[in-house]
Amino acid sequence: MNRRTFLQTAGATGVGLTGQVGLTDTDRPVTALLKLLEDSVREHLPRELVQRIRAGLRFEELLTALSWAAARNVQPYPDVGYKYHSVMVLRSINATTLHLSSGEQWLPIVWAADYFKSAQAQEQTSSAWRLPKRLATSVAGAPAARRMLIAALDNWDRDAADAAIVTYAQTAPIDEIFSVLFAYGARDLREIGHKAIAIANAHSLVAMLGRSQSEAILRSSVAALQNSGGGPNPASHDLEPDRPWRQNQTRLREITAFLKPGRNDPAARAELRSELYRVSEEDAGTVIITMLRHGISPDCIWQVLFDTAAELVMAQPSILSVHAQTTANALHYAYRLCGSGETQQLMVLQCAAFIALFRQYAGASASDFNLEALQPLPPRRPGVDAIDEIYAEVSAGRRLQAAGKALGYLQSGADPEALIAEARHHFVYHADEPHDYKFPEAVFENYSHLSDAAWRRRFLSAGMAHFKAPAQHPGPVVRETLELLHG
């Protein structure tokens, strides 16, 4: 399918993914799919999935089974990353699918299933790990299970946390469970934001899965939170990665009137940006509290956090800097959905600390790239489609020129959804690894929450720093799936 056809069909009615599936262990379609995903030969899987698609398979069933399979077969430690992306990519896969036509809606999840098989093979070769059997607990009732879970998380006790989440998941509403998990997902940056990303991913999946399938995702995610990098137990040591969390929890009592609308002040935005390039991660929270005390709105602060993350990617495009944006996205997701004012406050404070840390990791300075100074560039190739010209710059690695031309395109009144659809087209057809999905979907979601239309254009344009470049042919799994679906 060429881009013209893609743009005409993108946005057409796709699959409905927002309801709860409500499946149980005895649900035959999902348990059969689970067995297929776990036991099949990787090379045969696309054909076997397409056969089931033709026979009436629902997307929700495959997403449920794949979530379950990945959580059962890929361990979230010692690294919350690498092969564990087979779990963490699924929120992005779902988000992408919501925007695809019926003819393309299966491409992302078949790609994700193939990626899972690769991760499963690595796991079997290296450790033969499988999600262990449930640990027994004598705790009865949600309040006791909650206390046990918090104590285990505070003590970095993986086995106790696993036992607690099993009981808690059986007795408590999902929103109550995540009122705990969202906060601990923001505890530290040992895994370059993957803990927060894993919790946001789990929340989005659990909202659709049945309780029995949710248990595996919850157990896997809680285990991910306990990764301390192989060092001493943080519960009994004053370790540098944990200091912002501890200080920011103390700072929470300093925040008053947090939920008032506040104001979006350009001068305050400039000041906060400057501070994020200067202060340590431990001092970033003080800067945020000062802003809030001066009546600056949380939305204004989030805009600067998103923008600074975008600047880091533009200045130093790498997997490390990409996680500044995906982490900010995960923390803002928790901020929006946690249902707790205190957790909202903590998300803002921790995100500021993490952005300061990412800036240090990247060795970036305020002068490397300033999103406000990005200049729009007009098309320079007569007769060439403006979007094609933008992506020609992406292909050539000229990220600043691509961003400038994207800004010129958007400021001309052109449709931003066409630019976004083009980006999706490229990563759906040409993705090599999970960040090809995770980064752009984080950008698109953050973009949707920016209130200033003019600034939204700048933010979206900066995503060109790491959007997927066009390729001549679809990736092998996508090509095979297309042939099987339409052959």
Kindly write down the DSSP assignment for every residue of 43-112, as one continuous string: GGHHHHHHHHHHTT--HHHHHHHHHHHHHHHS---S-SSGGGHHHHTHHHHHHHHTTS-TTTTTHHHHHH
Question: Confidence band (pLDDT; 50, 70, 90) for 25?
Answer: very low
Q: What's the mean pLDDT in 120-141?
A: 87
Tens digit of pLDDT for each residue in 41-64?
A: 999 999 999 999 999 999 999 999
Q: What's the mean pLDDT in 323-348?
A: 96
CB of 311 closer than 8 Å to CB of 355:
no
Residue 209 has pLDDT above 50, yes or no: yes
Q: How far apart are CA 242 and CA 456, in angstroms?
A: 33
Please provide the size of the chain in residues.
487
CA-to-CA dists, residue 308 to 27, 39, 234, 251, 275, angstroms: 46, 44, 29, 23, 11
Q: What's the mean pLDDT in 207-227?
A: 88
DSSP state, 237?
A: S
Tens digit of pLDDT for each residue in 59-98?
A: 999 999 999 999 999 999 888 989 999 999 999 999 999 9
Residue 320 has pLDDT above 90, yes or no: yes
pLDDT computed for residue 438 by the predictor? 98
Q: What's the mean pLDDT in 151-172?
A: 94
Neighbours of 379 (CB within 10 A): 17
Residue 17 has pLDDT above 70, yes or no: no
pLDDT computed for residue 259 by the predictor? 53
Tens digit of pLDDT for each residue in 339-379?
A: 888 999 999 999 999 999 999 999 999 999 999 999 999 87
Q: Domain limits of the chain?
A: 21-237, 240-362, 374-465
Of the chain, the end-to-end C-alpha distance in Å amounts to 13
CA-to-CA dists, residue 423 to 15, 106, 329, 360, 467, angstroms: 20, 17, 18, 29, 7
Q: How far apart are CA 299 and CA 322, in angstroms?
A: 22
Mean pLDDT of the chain: 91
* Helix/strand/coil percentages in the chain, nearest 5: 65, 0, 35
**Which of 20-24, 168-172, 179-183, 414-418 is predicted least confidently?**
20-24
The residue that leads in pLDDT, 21 or 361, is 361
Question: Confidence band (pLDDT; 50, 70, 90) for 164?
Answer: very high
Residue 205 has pLDDT above 50, yes or no: yes
Residue 432 has pLDDT above 70, yes or no: yes
Residue 291 has pLDDT above 50, yes or no: yes
Residue 397 has pLDDT above 50, yes or no: yes
Residue 34 has pLDDT above 60, yes or no: yes
* The residue to which tokens 């939305």 are assigned: 299
Residue 23 has pLDDT above 80, yes or no: no
pLDDT computed for residue 14 by the predictor? 31
pLDDT computed for residue 77 by the predictor? 87
pLDDT computed for residue 135 by the predictor? 74
As to burial, measured by CB atoms within 10 angstroms (0-12 exposed, 13-18 middle, 19+ buried), residue 290 is: middle
pTM of the prediction? 0.93
pLDDT computed for residue 206 by the predictor? 92
Q: What's the mean pLDDT in 409-416?
A: 94
pLDDT computed for residue 20 by the predictor? 35
